[in-house]
Amino acid sequence: MATITLTTTAIKPADKQWFNVAESTKNTAYIAWARSFPGVTSFTGSAVDTNTWRTQMVFENQASYDTWQVSRLLNEHWLARKDYNLANGITASTVVA
């Protein structure tokens, strides 16, 4: 089976903080959960520039990706990030390949 790669690029307003700065404990918990999720073979993130962050997750197959898509909606730390980003004008675009 082919792997699935999820690449997300987030952009924040210059006067806002990233979630990992504003809510470091919640961010750390989310990252640990995502990295240990069954079927995730790689989870990386890096700054593109001061206001742009790119994250890439690799899943071992379509089934693990589909399970993660449902499970994240139940994860309190992912939900906190989603709410924080919405409240602070942080947008994200995602490519699945």
Tell me the pLDDT of the chain (97 aa) as tens digits: 799 999 999 999 999 999 999 999 999 999 999 999 999 999 999 999 999 999 999 999 999 999 999 999 999 999 999 999 999 999 999 999 9
Q: What is the pLDDT, as a whole number, of residue 1? A: 72
Query: Domain 4-96, CATH 3.40.50.1950 — does that match?
Result: no
Predicted TM-score (pTM) of this structure: 0.91
In order of 22, 63, 85, the CA distances from 13 in angstroms are: 14, 35, 10
At 80 the pLDDT is: 96
Distance (Å, rounded) from C-alpha 42 to C-alpha 25?
21
pLDDT, position 76: 96
CA atoms within 13 A on the CB side of 37: 25
Per-residue pLDDT, 14: 98
